[in-house]
Structure 1
């Protein structure tokens, strides 16, 4: 098996929308500003070589993908624009709140597109002699018992563009906010890797983009010799790029000179962490290490210090994918109480794996709290279109003693197990509560300084990529992807869940339950804990 395949970059160019638009600058939402420094939303789609006899078998994939990408960007012109921070002019009488426009407060973002200076989408082509079988086992093998815990044979980021080029993440504040790399493999297979600056796209927005690209490609080049786009591939929803639609859901007057104290109290009562990157102040020079234009006097509501004692970034970390069959997922759900206690399969599976991670970390007898930082979306909760662009996401913190969180089935003194605790936390974020949370954040100075999560041996950050239909993305003769890899940095305490690869007979828009093809759960924890996790007899039901 290949461990470090050689990938040779052949060419890098920049792609622009095929339909040009007039220059415009759009302020992004408050939650887009919150995720300014998050790692890019990234994934890799691995495709087998086109089947013999396919009329598209000899298609020049890089060229055809460039053409369909240009057509796609006409629906996403901001992806080819410039992402930047708003130049803030502080009112000395109003500190960081600036004028009455909440989009101009310190640390806010905007995107400019339709300009001659647009960077476009960076599009790179590459070649590797590595075969797909050396990277990802075929679907039948991957769902066998031998591969219930497995990983790509090489880091997925070798098939992704350079993450240091993403604005605000790798030290740069300019350049393309969207980067794509097409790698042709030695067997004829293709890997399509994409990174999008998080303020422009979370996982759901990435899915909207990739499905549109896939559809536009089918319009230009067809789905293959036997498929007709008009019958087998329904047109995906058009993207909704209306950034202030989210902010309009905030409670109260977010353009006022100060926040509403009652609304603020409602927001701060929610179980969301407020770890502050700029806390505490430096001794002797309180403004040292702060970004330009930001002073301690501007920050009206400091957060809490980072629990740095919990995270040692020098300890080796391993990444493994756990595959649970539909039958196993059902058993895990039933063991958690199922519909009788109001939890979903999703709740139960997250609780099951988090508990196993805690056991693997040796926290089964620990009286101190451990934390699960659970990422959840706001589109459905606030009545926003499912195709809304940006990153309308928040996190909640589920905290409980390690000894309770290590057994998903045990009951707390409140007669709740881990799954019901997760469900109970999420249920607190009602529409009114979320409106209060948005009001609170709209008055934060440099909202990206606050992190609603943390890493290390007492912490896990969970993200769900379930129900996104990422296996519906296909490009003509390439067919259905063999595997889709949601990419996240290799750090201690990351957990990601998504549905397994659909069977060969699953059609576009199939309404089957999302667990019916099994569930893939990606885990990143220290190597020592990972070895214990994979050997845990309670993990596999």
Structure 2
């Protein structure tokens, strides 16, 4: 794909905003703290074919939405011991304009490809962190008149729900509509910047924050990190999803809550089992399954509406590979359900205390995007499936119609064991699984993934 970059602009809040250093919560400073990209593709009507009209609409509305979402116009600063602070200084976000000689039709079914790298802003992680914009955007106009809007947002200031809150409100302002939900920025509701409440001796130990299991016989994950990976996007029809859900609920005791296993628990249990089979694990191989749980409604009281920041926590379900493979699908789903149900108000608050007592947070941070091998590794023998099933990822209309497609913003957005579950944009109840595994395991995974649906 040929892409010509026409210019890079700094867009600042249209009005004066709150300035000064603000503390981040513990959840902001662990896990992924680099930028996460997404792309939206559009086919504007003939009335919107002017690239300058689209660009000016986006930049003007972006300047306005940065007033209520002022933290995104700031910069991060390292303090000490792997900890970060947010400097609300209105320095702005980067907006790139580009053109492509390709058409949207050239992208076919929009399957992830290395071509997407030309459509997504590059974050220069060689710069000091306080020089990096928290948000970078790229508007690319295609020869056919179609456009793509890609946005990459620092995960240290916004999780998935917050990032999508920003996108939806930006689109509303671009359409000439008022803000729907004002963002809530006081991270002190999660005790940001406050000292621990209890001594370390009385602090509950959270072993789930430890690094996940290693392959039996290995003392580190160095060799597994080096192995070549590949990405596949696998589709499950509505019938296949319902089959997995029915199988999970009929093959194992119902959860204590009385509610049957959800489509997420059923599908991801199947993914976990399929990965163990494809990787050829020994029966006594420990394996962890990472789950991202939104704590906003699980707190007592719930976090304020529009809470902006990180409130999604990574929890880990665990099992022996032999148990996952030999027992019915419902067993894997039950392990996942138990991990999710651990996320209560008490769990969140004790986790905050545990992190406040850590001497250094860097060992809890995923920094692979900047080329370091430090931090957790969720590859073989482990796995994680992030769910976008309940997020408003579709229907983002800036005034020229809803997107024709949206997807993660890079073909290599995942590493071994990372995956993403999203609803099919057709809205027919089918699901898409974007999964990264080692090359040597992918074919076997696909075989078990589809073959076992009929057999489970």
TM-score of the two chains, using structure 2 as the length reference: 0.85
Distance 1:417 1:395 in 2: 21
Could you tell me whether the CA contact under 8 Å between 1:317 and 1:490 is conserved in 2?
no
- Report which stretch shifted further, 18-27 or 451-460: 451-460
User: Does residue 110 of structure 1 match 2:85?
Assistant: yes
Match of 1:239 among 183, 192, 197: 183
Distance 2:141 2:48 in 1: 15
The Cα shift of 1:466 comes to: 2.0
Q: What residue in structure 2 maps to residue 424 of structure 1?
A: 338
Q: Which structure has the highest helix share of the two?
A: 2
Could you tell me whether the CA contact under 8 Å between 1:17 and 1:72 is conserved in 2?
yes
Q: What residue in structure 1 maps to residue 285 of structure 2?
A: 368
Does the C-alpha gap of structure 1 residues 76 and 307 become closer, same or farther in structure 2, counting only changes over 3 Å?
Answer: farther
Match of 1:46 among 38, 41, 47: 41
Distance 1:384 1:11 in 2: 40
The Cα shift of 1:310 comes to: 6.6
Could you tell me whether the CA contact under 8 Å between 2:40 and 2:406 is conserved in 1?
yes
Distance 1:213 1:307 in 2: 48
Does the C-alpha gap of structure 1 residues 486 and 426 become closer, same or farther in structure 2, counting only changes over 3 Å?
Answer: farther
Could you tell me whether the CA contact under 8 Å between 1:211 and 1:236 is conserved in 2?
no
Q: What residue in structure 2 maps to residue 356 of structure 1?
A: 274
Could you tell me whether the CA contact under 8 Å between 2:385 and 2:419 is conserved in 1?
yes
Distance 2:409 2:331 in 1: 29
The Cα shift of 1:340 comes to: 4.2
Could you tell me whether the CA contact under 8 Å between 1:319 and 1:525 is conserved in 2?
yes
Could you tell me whether the CA contact under 8 Å between 1:351 and 1:408 is conserved in 2?
no
The Cα shift of 1:433 comes to: 2.1
The Cα shift of 1:245 comes to: 1.1
Could you tell me whether the CA contact under 8 Å between 1:321 and 1:523 is conserved in 2?
yes
User: Does residue 472 of structure 1 match 2:384?
Assistant: no
Could you tell me whether the CA contact under 8 Å between 1:497 and 1:520 is conserved in 2?
yes
Match of 2:54 among 54, 61, 65: 61
Q: What residue in structure 1 maps to residue 306 of structure 2?
A: 387
SS at match of 1:124: strand
- Report which stretch shifted further, 339-348 or 388-397: 339-348
SS at match of 2:208: coil
Distance 2:2 2:231 in 1: 21
SS at match of 1:538: helix
Number of residue pairs matched by the alignment: 429
Q: What residue in structure 2 maps to residue 534 of structure 1?
A: 446
TM-score of the two chains, using structure 1 as the length reference: 0.73
Could you tell me whether the CA contact under 8 Å between 1:82 and 1:175 is conserved in 2?
yes
Distance 2:106 2:227 in 1: 28
Deviations 1:425-456 (A, max 9, x none): 22123221222111111222222322584233
Distance 1:500 1:199 in 2: 28
Does the C-alpha gap of structure 1 residues 192 and 33 become closer, same or farther in structure 2, counting only changes over 3 Å?
Answer: same
Distance 1:460 1:170 in 2: 31
The Cα shift of 1:380 comes to: 1.5
TM alignment of 1:167-316, pairs within 5 A: 172-219=129-176, 236-247=180-191, 254-255=195-196, 259-262=199-202, 264-265=203-204, 268=205, 270=206, 272-275=208-211, 308-309=220-221, 311-316=223-228
SS at match of 1:272: helix
Distance 1:345 1:58 in 2: 43
Structure 1 unaligned residues grouped into runs of 5+: 89-105, 139-150, 220-228, 277-305, 411-415, 504-515
The Cα shift of 1:119 comes to: 2.9
Q: What residue in structure 2 maps to residue 289 of structure 1?
A: none
Could you tell me whether the CA contact under 8 Å between 2:96 and 2:137 is conserved in 1?
yes
Q: What residue in structure 2 maps to residue 498 of structure 1?
A: 422
The Cα shift of 1:368 comes to: 1.1
Structure 2 unaligned residues grouped into runs of 5+: 213-217, 366-374
User: Does residue 460 of structure 1 match 2:383?
Assistant: yes
Distance 1:75 1:481 in 2: 28
TM alignment of 1:516-535, pairs within 5 A: 516-535=428-447
TM alignment of 1:320-359, pairs within 5 A: 320-337=232-249, 340-341=254-255, 342-359=260-277
The Cα shift of 1:203 comes to: 0.9
Root mean square deviation, CA, Å: 2.8
Deviations 1:36-91 (A, max 9, x none): x63322211122x2234xx33446222221111111111111111121123x5xxx
Could you tell me whether the CA contact under 8 Å between 2:40 and 2:403 is conserved in 1?
no
SS at match of 1:472: coil
SS at match of 2:232: strand
Distance 1:63 1:484 in 2: 24
TM alignment of 1:78-93, pairs within 5 A: 78-86=71-79
